[in-house]
Amino acid sequence: MSTQTFYVFIVDDDDAVRDGLGQVMEVAGFNYQAFESAEHFLQAYCPGKRGCLVLDLNMPDMTGDELQTELTRRDIHLPIIFLTGYGDIPTTVRVIKAGAVDFLTKPVSSKLLIERIRGVLEQEARRYEDSLLAEQALCRRLNGLTTRESEVMSLVVAGHANKEIARQLGISHRTVEVHRARVMEKTGATSLLELARLCETCRLPPEASSSESE
């Protein structure tokens, strides 16, 4: 199982609401961070941190739905539970269509809020585990390459032409083409861009270092 930590990010401009929600999170055993504005959240948030966002709708400066739009623009995918005292049907429909997972109206019972948050976090944990399994499967493809194929792949991904790869590795141009074709076949990559993304996912070095003979 993963040791990934999941957080509840609370964004609300009302001090009393933030304090109250924080107490609810502590009782439920959730890791949480609270922010007084959307701007403060954006400044503090580290991309890659997983969890969910409990977000007020009506805040000064940047509103909750404006923050939702900004997160989408930044390609940050945090499930959002809107929690507001001024909800209406058109707004609810708009933010749900934009990807929010829930829309709750204040005051909300602690039990209901905890249930909704726990459900979202459990779903996020499953998604994370699935992504890890998929990543491991991709990396196993790379581990199945021979040393020479790995060298050729690293140089290809680094942008070197076949002729330059042949010169660096001391092999023929034709041999480079054969290894390159085998790399694409074994990894299942359909393009150099996809191959580069695969290497990035598995955090391979950009250049090959071995000088094994063909």
DSSP assignment of 138-184 = HHHHHHTS-HHHHHHHHHHHTT--HHHHHHHHT--HHHHHHHHHHHH
Q: For the chain, how many structural domains are there in total?
A: 2
Q: In this structure, what CATH number is given to the domain that contains residue 76?
A: 3.40.50.2300
* 161: containing domain: 145-202
Q: Which pLDDT tens digit goes with each residue over 152-204?
A: 998 998 889 999 999 999 999 999 999 999 999 988 888 888 888 888 877 65
Q: Is residue 151 part of a domain?
A: yes
Do 67 and 170 belong to one domain? no
Q: Is residue 140 part of a domain?
A: no
Quote the pLDDT of residue 204: 56
Q: Which pLDDT tens digit goes with each residue over 75-107?
A: 999 999 999 887 778 888 889 898 899 999 888
Q: Which pLDDT tens digit goes with each residue over 130-149?
A: 888 887 887 888 888 899 99
The Cα 181–Cα 95 span in angstroms is: 47
- Is the entire prediction scored with pTM above 0.85? no
The Cα 81–Cα 163 span in angstroms is: 55
Identify the domain boundary among 113, 133, 153. Answer: 133
Q: Is residue 214 part of a domain?
A: no
Q: Is residue 207 part of a domain?
A: no
Q: Is residue 139 part of a domain?
A: no
Do 176 and 119 belong to one domain? no
Q: In this structure, what CATH number is given to the domain that contains residue 186?
A: 1.10.10.10
